[in-house]
Structure 1
Amino acid sequence: MKTISVCSFKGGTAKTSISLNLGAALARFHNKRVLMVDFDAQANLTAGLGLDPDNHDSLAAVLQDTKTVGEVIVHTDHPSIDLIPADTWLERVESTGNLATDRYSHEKLKKILAPLGYDFAIIDTPPSLCWLTESSLIACDYGLVCATPEFYSIKGLQRLSYFMHYISERHPFELLGVVLSFWNSRGKNNQEFLEVIEDTFPEKVLNTKVRRDIAVSEASIHGKPVFETRPKSRAAEDFRELTQELLPKLESPCLSSTHS
């Protein structure tokens, strides 16, 4: 199983939509078995797959040794996509129970996910540089950065770059790239933003840009991937192209496996 940590420094970068629809595209169009992991206490990925976070346990229970990972995995409407939901307990899980005294608590997620037999696990992380994001990066084989062509989103990328570099020195993973969402090809500052990203993540800006599309919001309301609600939308086209661009990187030997 190859694990992808989807990260951003701030909210509003379509991180959850990218996580959800990347996983859905891998399952639907490439016959992959996908585990979606909602590791954000806001539980938007859980809701985006049509589940109520209040009715399910999260990885918090597994991290605290009160449940096994098999007990919290939920089957979705798609036969090739399973989900580990999120709940509000995740927000401070590292400061409670047995994790509070565990020096290596941030490595526990990796041990929990390692035995699972999916083709891919996709972890949707909080939009911050917190314990949950660190744990996700330690657990992953690949990182995927989400950003928007806006000043505050681009400005935060340098801090995210330092954070990811610091973790990868001890727990190697490969950066798949930076995906830009809410893209307007006629944006007047596009070139300046792309140059800043290139300086921060050299040669990592992905060719596929995810354009703004109301179809994504409509799909989340229905708790489904956009391929099911608006399969001919430009968002569905962009997510399919993004998956096609990433798949060769995902199917090649990954950096973390060469260091294991």
Structure 2
Amino acid sequence: MKRSKIISVCSFKGGTAKTSTALHFGASLAKHHKKKVLLVDFDAQANLTSGLGFDPDEHDSMAEVLKRKKGLPEVIKKTAVKNLDIVPADTWLERVEVTEPLACDRYSHEILRDILKDADYDFVIIDTPPSLCWLTESALIASQHTLICATPEFYSIKGLERLSQFIKSLGERHPLNVLGVLLSFWNIRGKNNKAFLDVIEATFPNKTLKPKIRRDIAVSEAAILGKPLFETDPDCRAAEDFRDVTKALLSNLKE
């Protein structure tokens, strides 16, 4: 069986369009590139889950698989997009690491990797919490690549420095490729753009993606409808941007 490309979508703070990026990267791969994609909502806020029209309170999450109560196929749900499946999130994820049997397993960070290693998909995309917690570390250990999300504002860019240190520390025991740094809510006329780009370049050299996601109300409207932009407003500028980002990331994966 061909091994899935597993990608964690990360940021150190909220409000960086991390979840929208995970959703639309996955949806674009499935819809425009005919790839078989599994989205894993690994954030207890469950925004990815609700963004695809699922009620987090009605479905089991990866928590049940981590606790060895269910197998991966039992928690996978098909979405309205062909070839795009999801493992929903729920509130149990938030403290799953302190429950049995994980609490007494010194290698608990590696369990997600073992769960996903034989997943029959072209891509597995993990939406992580906006913090450097057990869930994020487990997701990064399970992944070969990470996509980092940021916005052109001070606290988001400063958070990249801490995230970089975290990834470097993790890389000492687990090889991890930074696939790119994606900027969202981009204003081409922003007066501080160069300063922000310089900080990103210093923190993650040569990793800033050329395509960027422009601010677009259509993203929020699609989330309310529980569908990707490509279904609700395929001609909007954010949909165009996400298509360009997907092409850039596929190109980076071939390098």
Tell whether the 8 Å contact from 2:31 to 2:82 is kept in structure 1 after alignment. no
- Say which SS state the counterpart of residue 97 (structure 1) adopts: coil
> Alignment identity in percent?
66
2: CA distance, partners of 1:240 / 1:79? 17
- Cα offset, 1:89, TM superposition: 0.2
- Partner of residue 23, structure 2: 20
- Once the 2 structures are TM-superposed, how far is the Cα of residue 250 of structure 1 from its aligned partner? 2.3
- Aligned residue for 1:255? none
Match in the other structure for 1:156: 159
Residues paired across the two proteins, number: 252
The answer to whether residue 113 in structure 2 is matched with residue 110 in structure 1 is: yes
Q: What pairs up with 1:81-96 in 2 under 5 angstroms?
A: 81-96=84-99
Report the residue type matching 1:116 in the other structure: A
Ranges in structure 2 where 5+ consecutive residues have no aligned partner: none
Q: How do residues 200-211 of structure 1 correspond to structure 2 at under 5 angstroms?
A: 200-211=203-214
- Cα displacement (A) at 1:136: 0.4
Structure 1 vs Structure 2 CA RMSD: 0.7
Separation of aligned partners in 2, 1:168 and 1:110: 15
The separation in 1 between residues aligned to 2:208 and 2:251, in whole angstroms, is 16
Unaligned runs of 5+ in 1: 253-260
Query: Matched residue of 1:107: which SS?
Result: helix
Q: Structure 2 matches for 1:7-86, cutoff 5 A?
A: 7-86=10-89
How far 1:97 sits from its partner (Å)?
A: 1.0
Name the aligned partner's letter for residue 200 of structure 1: T
Aligned partners of 1:168, 1:55: CA distance in 2, in Å? 37
**Cα distance in 2 for residues equivalent to 1:79 and 1:9:** 31
CA contact (8 A) 2:22 2:127 kept: yes
Q: What are the within-5 Å matches in structure 2 for residues 203-242 of structure 1? A: 203-242=206-245
Q: For 2:100 and 2:130, locate their aligned partners in 1 and report how far apart those are by CA, in whole Å.
A: 24
TM-score w.r.t. length of structure 1: 0.96
- Kindly state the Cα deviation for residue 165 of structure 1 after the two structures are TM-superposed: 1.0
Q: Deviations over 1:201-256 (max 9, x none)?
A: 1111110110000000000000000011010000000000000111122245xxxx
- Matching residue's letter, 1:119: D
